[in-house]
Amino acid sequence: MRIIKSSVMTSEVDAKVDIMYGLKTVLSQIEIAVARRSKDLPQIAPRLVAVSKIKPVELIVEAYNAGQRHFGENYVNELSDKASDPLILEKCKDIKWHFIGHLQTNKINKLLGSPGLFMVETVDSEKLADNLNKQWLKYRKEKERLRVMVQVNTSGEQAKSGLEPLETTKAVEHILENCPNLDFQGLMTIGQYDYDITKGPNPDYLCLIKCRQEVCEKLNLDIKDVELSMGMSSDFAHAIELGATTVRVGSTIFGARPPKNS
């Protein structure tokens, strides 16, 4: 996959995007959502992952210069290309990449070799965990473990990846007991798109919260040590109010993406 590297080739839409304004808006909304969050929930400051899918490296550098450090990509080729881009390597030395898409076995090595890889949020099988655990030995620095999250398909949609909620605890237990090179961080879900929160709390997020509770109780884990990655541009504030510790926001920061066929 070829990534646009020249600012001359950046689309007119991207050229008009005010990254600083977008980030300030999101961070302000995060702060408000945290204030509304129940004090009974783990008081973890939410991490903002700026999803830069199909956006040029110039905008990533702009967001980095505005203080953003965590960035997310859905496709291995795109993450690898951007992470290795000379401009990113020169200007964004402390960048932290999150992989948030479906990971195929034949793309593992390419992903793990990407500079600045911080976390794989989409471990959706014990087999994938085993492969990551084995292959990470080639790329890790000293005894650094690879941070991972277990993806749960809370909406039950066939088009979405992730484990069934009932399989979550077993998968986490497998990682903890059989994957010494992986560092289990928490649970992640995409959930149903465009859920109407006027109907009440998003049931997919409530499902992920329940999964975390079961994981912690059955495996004797501290709930403060198990993160929840949920919420995107349309509902990240709602997700934080429910207890999200990581939100993945793209269009609110980088502007709308063009239609798929453009």
216 found inside a domain: yes
Q: What does the pLDDT read at residue 70?
A: 98
CATH number of the domain that residue 133 is part of: 3.20.20.10
Token pair 């990682």: residue: 175
- Centre a 10 Å sphere on the Cβ of residue 29 and count the other Cβ atoms it contains: 16
Amino acid identity for residue 89 in this structure: L
* Whole-angstrom distance, CA of residue 42 vs CA of residue 31: 15
13 found inside a domain: no
Q: Which residues of the chain are under the pLDDT cut of 70?
A: 1-16, 258-262
DSSP letters along 176-235, please?
A: HHH-TTEEEEEEE----TT--GGGSS-HHHHHHHHHHHHHHHHHT--GGGSEEE---TTT
Q: What is the pLDDT of residues 37-81, one digit of tens each?
A: 998 888 888 999 999 999 999 999 999 999 999 999 999 999 999
Classify 71 as helix, strand or coil.
strand
Q: What does the pLDDT read at residue 88?
A: 98
128 found inside a domain: yes
Which domain covers residue 74, as residue numbers? 19-249
Give me the helix-helix angle, 57-65 and 19-36, nearest 10°. Answer: 60
Q: What does the pLDDT read at residue 261?
A: 52
**Contact residues for 139 (Cβ-Cβ < 8 A; gap 6+):** 112, 113
**Interior CA angle at 218 toward 120 and 190, to 5°?**
35
Q: What does the pLDDT read at residue 14?
A: 52
72 found inside a domain: yes
**Structural domains of the chain, count:** 1
**Contact residues for 125 (Cβ-Cβ < 8 A; gap 6+):** 163, 171
Q: What does the pLDDT read at residue 12?
A: 44
Q: What does the pLDDT read at residue 4?
A: 37
206 found inside a domain: yes
5 found inside a domain: no
Q: What does the pLDDT read at residue 67?
A: 97
What does the DSSP 8-state code read for residue 163? B
255 found inside a domain: no
254 found inside a domain: no
Q: What does the pLDDT read at residue 194?
A: 82
